[in-house]
Amino acid sequence: MSCACVTRSARSFSAGQRVASTATTCAVVQPQLRAAKRALDQGDLAQAEQVLTPLESSNSGCSEVLVGLGRLRASRNDFEKAQEFFTRAIDLAPQEPQPYYYFARFYLSRQQYQRADYFSEQAVLRDRAYPDALILRGQILTKKGQTDAARELLERACKLDPDNPETRFQLGVFFDGRQLHPEAVEQFEQVIAIRQRDPRAYDYLALNLEALGKAEKAEATYQKGLQVNQGPLFDSFLDYNYGRFLMKSNRLAESKEYLDRAVRLAPGTRAVYYEHGRLNLRLQKYKEAQVDAERALSLPDPGGFVLDLQVYYLLASIYTRLGNAELAGKYAALCRTSRVPIQSQGRGER
């Protein structure tokens, strides 16, 4: 019994020493760490590498250095090395939330949801007032269908850091996914008030204004978003959404300009090819529409944003116009037999 107690206290002492040591080591290089974090947040990997590389050998006892190196390696798709750095950071500072948070982000980016779930939970358990961790945890809980808990965390993050545009952006995305359009509009307007060059916020704001029937305001918002659509917040779906909006307004020539660009910006997305095919059908470009629709059908759509049934119907219409009765009949039959899955709310993955 006494032996077990000694072992436990010795381990606690060792862990305490380790945490104190890493805190001291990190304190010495705070200016470099701030510069590296700023570079990583802005996507400037060359600058981040220039700052972090000299710290790797001389400050490997600092968990924040290891987190920065892990983020850098993850951004360069060196996943094995990134995982090693994050693991070492947690071993050095097991009570700090930051290593768990960035490890969770790493796993979420790789669609390893169970691990992202675990590490995001650990980050929040270590600091319930860490807005970034609350946001990430809220995103993961939303994916798990735990929407009440997700909303509570996202709203808490906004209260803790009301002037942070990313906290409001993620709460707006949550409201958008639940089709709570007035609430979403409020959040995205606040994002733009804080961060005026965020094309994603303009895109989401326009979509929700459109859903509320405010077409003129939605169009003006799309156009403002397109004017600032560059840099690390670049939105590859903004041209798609504006092109789709123009097609709904029967402005087909204008729509073509944006949907043509959307195909180049998001070539692996079913919805983009589906809308491009619908536009070509309306323009009576049937061969081009056929290529688009067949391409749409070949692409996965895990969010269920454009159903197989919709693509079958488009293909049946196209082959009818092309005079191919056999293929028109094939896709018409698939329309009749295709099952419509139960879908969650929201507009799918971006």
Read off the CATH number of the domain in which 282 is found.
1.25.40
**Within a domain: residue 98?**
no
Predicted local confidence at residue 56, as pLDDT: 87
pLDDT tier for residue 343 given thresholds of 50, 70 and 90: low
**Domain assignment of residue 69, yes or no:** no
pLDDT tens sequence across 225-267: 999 999 889 999 999 999 999 999 999 999 999 999 999 999 9
* Residue 342: per-residue pLDDT: 57
The Cα–Cα gap between 161 and 134 comes to 11
The reported pLDDT for the residue numbered 5 is 41
Q: In this model, does residue 22 exceed pLDDT 80? A: no
Count structural domains, the chain.
1
pLDDT at 297 over 80: yes
Confidence of residue 1 (pLDDT cuts 50, 70, 90): very low
Residue 182: pLDDT over 90: yes
Residue 165, in any domain of the structure: no
CA-to-CA distance for 177 and 201, rounded, in angstroms? 14
AA identity, residue 243: G
Residue 141 clears pLDDT 60, i.e. is over it: yes
E strand or H helix that includes residue 164: none
Residue 16 has pLDDT above 70, yes or no: no
Q: What is the mean pLDDT of residues 274-294?
A: 98
User: Does 37 map to a domain?
Assistant: no
The average confidence (pLDDT) of the chain is 91
Residue ranges making up the domain that contains 307: 263-338
**Residue 149 CB neighbour total at 10 angstroms:** 14
In a domain, 146, yes or no: no
Tokens at 226, concatenated: 């397109």
Residue 331 lies in a domain: yes
pLDDT above 70: residue 34: yes
- Is 271 domain-assigned? yes
Q: Do 70 and 85 meet the contact criterion of CB atoms below 8 Å apart?
A: yes
pLDDT at position 142: 93
Q: Are 128 and 119 in contact (CB under 8 A)?
A: no
Tell me the CA distances in angstroms from 175 to 59, 113, 142, 205, 246, one per residue in order. 43, 22, 11, 11, 25
For the residues 96-113, what does the mean pLDDT come to? 95
9 has pLDDT over 60: no
Asked whether residue 50 is domain-assigned, the answer is no
Predicted local confidence at residue 349, as pLDDT: 44
